[in-house]
Amino acid sequence: MGAKVNGNQKQSRGGKPLLPDRAAVFGGLLLLLALGVCALCFRQDFSDWERRMLSGLPETISLSRWTFHDDLEDELSDQVPGRRLLVNLYAEAQKLTGRAQQLDAWPQGDDFLEKPVTGRQQTALRRVEQLKALAGDIPCHFLTPPTHGMLLSGQMPAPVRQVYEQEEELYGLVTEDPAFVPLRQAFSEARTQLYYRTDHHWTLEGAYLAYRAFCGAAGQTPADRSRFRETRYSPFYGTTYSRSGLPFARADTLVCAEPDFSVTLTVQGKDLRADHLIFPEEAATYDGYAVYLKGNHGVLEILSPEAESGETLVVFKDSYANCLLPFLTAHYRRIIAADARYMEGSFRDVLTGAGRVDRVLFLYSLDSLVNDTAITRKLR
């Protein structure tokens, strides 16, 4: 007769009892409890490597509130010990199994790309018309660069290339308007690195190429780069790489330029006034791109007494403009730049407050131009 087995035990092949089921359950619960305690005791509010705020504890703890368990799950997943390693392993597994398109940013060779821009064509066209109406009789131009992914799409597998073809169709439709400064051909034919490998922003080469194109449309002669001081900051890892979750990338070098003549920067509503446009101390922070203008601001003003004209330029922008504004100081004595994401009031308020305005520039990435709802709000 076989040996009797206790009701709380199972018998192994050698006749020895295995770990009791009850102990296994308790052990699992203790492990979950330990992870929860670690998440609560050693929590962080901000993730430097992801460039985002982490989920916090629900403000109201109520088991009857239908979103409580979702909020708690977000909190624990953001605060679990060793989370960065887990994210890295997951992202690497997606890449190795051919599912990199499941990530928030797509690896392509040494580059990390934004997902293709999608949006309603009629909505985008209507927004362009609204922005032109805002400028009224003031000469206005649009600068919207082709995306890094669009430029590299010819090197991608057919299924991915097809998605970028839809983005290219949207870009072509929007930029048909004569107010847009043509950039597509110049960017496609360039033989220099126009975008950072780890960031969605254009490099100094890309910004200078766009600046020259704008000067051509505005009837101006581009300033030589010798009129600007260049500085370099390395290593630089941008936001696109941080969103991919992948553990390794070749670092970029952030190259900046600022006028080699006197300028004054003032930020509306902030205690920020400076005689320079580059802030080297920001290079060591989580957002190295903030070396330009000390980051993004609602409304800023740049005065340039040595500019070739006494004109005023108003720029409605996203962060793509930050590295292009220094070049424009060679032409305009006063530049007012407004970012819909951070400003108070409306775009009309900016134009009214600027007094006499000689030219308006709308400088937005394709995604901002098509999808940023902050622009819609500020147009009202």
**Short-list 175, 179, 177, CA closest to 187:** 175
Asked if 194 and 202 count as a contact pair (C-beta separation under 8 A), the reply is: yes
- Give me the number of domains the chain comprises: 1
Q: What is the distance, to the nearest Å, from the Cα of residue 240 to the centroid of all Cα atoms in its chain?
A: 7
In a domain, 60, yes or no: no
In a domain, 247, yes or no: yes
Q: What is the pLDDT of residue 15?
A: 54
Q: What is the pLDDT of residue 70?
A: 62
* Residues listed for the chain: 380
In a domain, 35, yes or no: no
CA distance 149 to 108: 9
In a domain, 62, yes or no: no
| Residue 51 exposed, middle or buried by CB count within 10 Å (0-12, 13-18, 19+) | middle
CA distance 215 to 221: 6
Per-residue pLDDT tens for 78-93? 667 677 788 788 888 8
Q: Is 360 helix (H, G, I), strand (E, B) or coil?
A: strand
Q: What is the pLDDT of residue 37?
A: 59
Range of the domain at 179: 111-379
In a domain, 263, yes or no: yes
In a domain, 15, yes or no: no
Q: What is the pLDDT of residue 34?
A: 60
Q: Which DSSP string corresponds to 161-218?
A: HHHHHHHHHHHHHHTTSTTBPP-HHHHHH--S--B-SSSSSB-HHHHHHHHHHHHHHH
Buried b (16+ CB within 10 A) or exposed e, 113-145: bbbbbebeeeebeebbeebeebbeeeebbbbbb
In a domain, 46, yes or no: no
What amino acid occupies position 39? A
pLDDT by residue for the chain (380 residues), tens only, comes to: 444 445 444 455 555 555 566 666 666 666 556 655 555 565 666 666 666 666 665 566 555 555 555 665 666 566 676 777 887 888 888 888 888 888 889 898 899 999 999 999 999 999 999 999 999 999 999 999 999 999 998 888 888 888 889 999 999 999 999 999 999 999 999 999 999 999 999 999 999 999 999 999 999 999 999 999 999 999 999 999 998 999 889 999 999 999 999 999 999 999 899 999 999 999 988 889 999 999 999 999 999 999 999 999 999 999 999 999 999 999 999 999 999 999 999 999 999 999 999 999 999 999 999 999 999 999 98
In a domain, 23, yes or no: no
